[in-house]
Structure 1
């Protein structure tokens, strides 16, 4: 982003910026922002205690919306006094400030002697976690249902301003009002968060934003629009801080950046898809129809996704439990040895087989989420009290990472499963392919 902004500033000052150059460098800045955003959000939990995470997320969202409101106004003043090229160079200078802060910030080193995950393997692990993590999938569903319709605010507000005869100053004033509402919402949130659940706050803010979008369809006075935008900023900050905080608290630290990248993909993809959709609707019909449809869509999305509760992720204790014992091995495998077949043998009361199988389905999701594949549960035909759980891990290093990924909430699930076991702890075996045999 620093290089792209600097190049854009230099080319603009030199009079060499064409539409294609502007699009290409804007695309480059967008790529940088897409890479930066998940990492930026992932380090928030390292900067503040857990109890302060939600206010920190709200403060971060408030600063983004404040910058969105003040940025165009400041840029307009700089352009009026100097030129557009200087605006781009000042933008590049801001990246230097961020880099300096990150350079001086020292995070606590993470203990561990496992090799670094390979890029493709890390991507697979992140996607696998998202696939099997129900609390995070709830956040993704709620985010998609919101942003597909809420994106109309940013897609058609410039068109609305133009149709009402507002110039750049008027449009900037509307954004400023939105920023004022966002700041007010950020200050308002901590006072009500202790009295209202996340889902109730999200629902109320969504209904309020739907009313704001409906108001954009019928309010034609500038003062009225400013008031509507203030309310919209308040509703937007409540929604965004609720979703961001839910995404942050739904995943453990080892996969947080990857999970938030998927969250950002859903959000930004929804913005792109929604902008194209509402632009097409406005072109085919008119602006009031588009705003009316989006307002109805927000309410419909809220109704359809309300059964997915964000509070489910708040009750999880994602602290690593580190309770798995070290495997008993004669010859130390290399990290890349594998795949590894893990077998866990249980001795249960056959009369409780159905209840045991149900409890194992919860554990199955945890195994698959943390790196296992080909999970299975088998009962010995010669001894019906003997039940064997199996799953495959791609390498010995990946299985060792499984040991580090088990959380305290996962441990509670394992203890519920082991309550069915009779005798000493279940026997755990680790099997490698015999050298010379053919791997499937």
Structure 2
């Protein structure tokens, strides 16, 4: 979501950033005309958010909404650079506003689904930072480009770049989030014996080791794959470091290392561990059910620095 939202904002910023100069010097509109164009964009966003989005979401997939809205906004961006009629321009700006709000709200929904609720505020903060940063940087870039080659050609380039952002769906496809469940299951991880450590050590890092032994060679590949997927989820939910190590002298012996920034953070992870983690750990348990029970040990760091 972060990558796609950032690229989209960089490319889409051309339309609004160049609109004031374009309306005055290319089209000859006064402040009222510019206000009408910008107002049409805003009205399109309002109508799109109230009327169209609630109707589209139950019928159209998230990815289809993103692609369709980007295609519509790119068409609007391209057309604005070559159309002189005020009425048609207002209509185009309204369509652009509807497409713009559809994309922004959809990206926000993806962001909300891709992170646990307890860090939802951080996700929103990063999302807003990306949007505003992309708008600022994109406006400077497109302004510099327009100064060299003119606004109509610049808007055409922006429209092409918008279409090109669709290619990022190959690596950042929203459908991969459909099966994620961030519902907390606080009883999944039992509290460690050291949960009542001295308050002075609350800010020290936490090291968790999980030792697996006698992993049969016929299940080792599946075990490593599922464990790596678990590691990705753990890091996405706040674990500072994760790695799986194998003993080269005993190929069935593995040690999983997890590090949390502070002991307090790790206790919070115990409280907010999600069903995603539970499902992955249950898969590992089912896979190694004929092997010895993994040994879990918690350690408290003797310094407050992660490295």
Same fold (TM over 0.5): yes
- Contact 1:375–1:392 (8 Å) recurs in 2: no
After TM superposition, give the deviation of residue 371 of structure 1 in Å. 2.3
| Residues 1:333 and 1:217: Cα distance change in structure 2 (over 3 Å) | same
Q: How does 1:426-437 map to 2 (within 5 A)?
A: 426-432=294-300
Deviation at 1:300, TM superposition (A): 1.2
> Any idea what SS the aligned residue of 1:218 has?
coil
Distance in structure 1 (CA, Å) of the matches to 2:113 and 2:98 = 23
- Partner of 2:193: helix, strand, or coil? coil
1:233 aligns with 2:71: no
Q: Distance in 1 between matches of 2:154 and 2:258?
A: 50
Higher relative contact order (Cα pairs below 8 Å, separated by 6+ residues): 2
TM-score by length of 1: 0.63
Return closer, same or farther for 1:294/1:380 CA change in 2, 3 Å cut-off.
Answer: closer
The aligned counterpart of 2:111 is 247
Gapped regions of structure 2 (runs ≥ 5): none
Deviation at 1:341, TM superposition (A): 2.6
Partner SS state of residue 172, structure 2? coil
Q: Alignment partner of 1:419: what SS?
A: helix
Q: Offset at 1:307?
A: 4.5
2:185 to 314, 321, 324: 321
Confirm or deny that 1:367 pairs with 2:234.
yes
Aligned partners of 1:141 and 1:305 also within 8 Å: no
Match of 1:412 in 2: 279
- 1:169 matched to 2:36: no
Q: 3-state SS of the aligned residue for 1:166?
A: coil
* Counterparts of 1:423 and 1:303, CA distance in 2: 44
| Separation in structure 2 between the aligned mates of residue 375 and residue 425 of structure 1, nearest angstrom | 19
- The separation in 1 between residues aligned to 2:302 and 2:139, in whole angstroms, is 56
Offset at residue 374 of structure 1 (A): 5.6
- In structure 2, relative to structure 1, the CA distance for the partners of 1:379 and 1:418 (3 Å cut) is farther
Deviation at 1:384, TM superposition (A): 4.6
Partner Cα distance (1:374, 1:182) in 2 = 43
Alpha-carbon offset, residue 172 of structure 1: 1.3
SS of the equivalent of 2:81 reads: helix
RMSD, aligned CA: 2.3
Query: Contact 1:336 / 1:395 at 8 angstroms: preserved in 2?
Result: no
Q: Quick check: 1:180 aligned with 2:43? A: yes
Would you say 1:354 and 2:216 are equivalent positions?
no
How big is the shift at 1:336?
A: 4.6
Q: Kindly state the Cα deviation for residue 180 of structure 1 after the two structures are TM-superposed.
A: 2.5
Distance 1:210 1:179 in 2: 17
State how 1:45-194 maps to structure 2 within 5 Å. 139-163=1-25, 164-186=27-49, 187-194=51-58
**Counterpart check, 1:288 vs 2:177:** no
Residue aligned with 2:269, SS: helix
Deviates more, 1:347-356 or 1:246-255: 347-356
Q: How many angstroms does 1:433 deviate by? A: 5.6
**Matches of 1:379 and 1:354, distance apart in 2:** 15
TM-score of the superposition, structure 2-length normalised? 0.88
